[in-house]
Structure 1
Amino acid sequence: MGLRVTLVAAARSSSLLAERFDDDRPLDAAGWYEVQCAAEALVPLGGAELRYCSPTPRSRATGEALGYAPLAQPALRECDMGRWRGLTLAEVAALDPASVDAWLGDPRSAPHGGEPLLAFITRIGNWLDTRPADDGATIVAVAEPSVVRAAFVYVLKAPPATYWNVDVRPLSTVTLTGRPGGWHLQLEPAPRPAPVMRPYTPGP
């Protein structure tokens, strides 16, 4: 039967264009609203035997708001972006376009002085492969979207460049089943906001 690991992407802390490398800002108003809308679908995942989160403010806040009381896992931190920490991709590209091209084109490169993409993917994979191996164990982890993307690439044994083609929406989930070295992946859609119910008004 193996393990069942569900990764929940953290709610947002900024708009997509305003996202910064190694962003440590808390949830914004839109993020809190999304958590409230998704709670009905995601709260039951808190029944997992083990509950974790990335050590970022928005991951912690998402897990706490959903009632998971998660344990922060240093191994689930975002990729170390070195000198680019706190900058947006557009800002880095304007300052040093050649370095951005090298980073996007070679998963072993680290022009920012931090962690290469390949090392990041391997770190996330190692975390998965060292989870308790009891058959039937269930785990939920609220993680940064980048961490979910890295897990996706690792589990599928896809080329590292696949990382750039994976889009992870806030509060979407990925469920992994199996055991170290033999994972299967199941995608779930992001929960949609509950419709606003208006009182029925009979016609004339």
Structure 2
Amino acid sequence: MSVRVTFVAAARSPVLPAERFEDDRPLDGAGWDEVQRVAPGLLPLAVAELRYCSPAPRSRATGYALGYAPLMQLGLRDCDMGRWRGLTLGEAMAREPEAVDGWLADPRSAPHGGESLLSFIARVGDWLDTRPVGDGDRVVAVAEPSVVRAALVYVLKAPPSTYWNIDVRPLAATTVTGRAGRWYLRFDGVPAQPSRA
């Protein structure tokens, strides 16, 4: 028995030159427009038996705008960035360059006083592993792109440094299937059409 979990990355909040750690800004007009443009492709996910979202305002708003009526899950919250919350990477680097360098180099470090990258990945993995399992169970989870990246590192059993090499765009849908400790990344593409001779 396995479960199918589709992560939907939250729509973007106000576009700024750089993303902020634990960004809790709501969706702006552009974000709402973006949801409306892609909604037809994501609406079918609303048939999932279980629908969740992270506590972040833009994740909740994205889930509701897509008609999922999701339940909030604390396990899907963004990485706790401690005193760097609300800063951009550049701002944190300007204030604490050695601490940022150490954080980027060592996934066990948490110089900001929050959660280490390793702990963040483990927390998201634990959330994934504790989903109900049964034949045909479908789950949709709207979360910040960073949460989706952490889930993918966990599913692939990749080194934590892989986290920095995964780009999750707003409103991207990523599906994993399996059960606790045994997950698979699933790509659903459009089948190639036979060529006509």
- Short-chain TM bin: over 0.9
Using the TM superposition, name which of 51-60 and 85-94 deviates more: 85-94
C-alpha root-mean-square deviation of aligned residues, in Å?
1.2
2:89 is aligned to 89
Q: Partners in 1 of 2:172 and 2:87 — Cα distance?
A: 25
AA aligned to 1:101 is D
Q: Which has the larger radius of gyration?
A: 1
Separation of aligned partners in 2, 1:187 and 1:81: 31
Between the aligned partners of 1:150 and 1:135, the Cα distance in structure 2 is 25
Name the structure 2 match of 1:104. Answer: 104
Aligned ranges 1:107-126 → 2 under 5 Å: 107-126=107-126
- The aligned residue for residue 50 of structure 1 is 50
Give the length in aligned residue pairs. 189
Structure 1: tracts of 5 or more residues without a match: 190-204
Q: Name the counterpart of 1:173.
A: 173
Looking at structure 1, the residues matched to 68 and 117 of structure 2 have their Cα atoms a distance apart, in angstroms, of 29
Distance in structure 2 (CA, Å) of the matches to 1:90 and 1:50: 38
- Alpha-carbon distance between aligned partners in 2 of 1:164 and 1:18, rounded to the nearest angstrom: 15
From the superposition, tell whether residues 188 and 103 of structure 1 become closer, same or farther in structure 2 (CA, over 3 Å).
Answer: farther
Q: Is the 8 A contact 1:173 1:188 kept in 2?
A: no
Which aligned pairs between 1:1-204 and structure 2 lie closer than 5 A? Answer: 1-15=1-15, 17-187=17-187
2:129 partner amino acid: D
TM-score, normalised by the number of residues in structure 1? 0.90
Q: Name the amino acid aligned to 1:53.
A: C
> 2 CA distance for matches of 1:123 and 1:110?
15
Gaps of 5+ in 2: 190-197
TM-score, normalisation: structure 2: 0.93
The structure 1 segments of at least 4 consecutive aligned residues displaced by more than 3 Å after TM superposition are: none
